[in-house]
Amino acid sequence: MLNSLYGKFGQKGEDWTKIGDCPNEPDREELVFNMNGKRVTKLRYLLGQLFSMTNVGECFDSFPAIAAHVTGYARMYLWQLMQEA
């Protein structure tokens, strides 16, 4: 339980905008590649609605330095145990 808590501080968030309805479509995610504009759009079909991902960034309460510190400390501790073995 405690091991997964620190990862929440480094978590990223996604903003989704509803762009339409799509009844009778199975729930799924798709990547749409636009070669002319060289863009990739992520679409999500969910519960009969169609969403487009508009933004990816840090969550409101994220603080990646905490996750980085805990991960770095765990790596150093693992290295110490490997040296003793």
Q: How many CA atoms lie within 13 A of 53 on its CB side?
A: 15
Residues 33 and 39: their CA atoms lie apart, in Å, by 6
> What's the domain count of the chain?
1
Look at residue 47 and tell me whether its pLDDT is greater than 60.
Answer: yes
pTM tops 0.85 = no
Q: Which two tokens stand for residue 63?
A: 């603080």
Report the alpha-carbon distance of residue 85 to residue 82 in Å, rounded.
Answer: 5
Asked whether residue 1 carries a pLDDT value surpassing 60, the answer given is no
Question: Which residues span the domain enclosing 36?
Answer: 2-84
| Cross-strand bridge partners of residue 30 | 43
DSSP state of 64: H
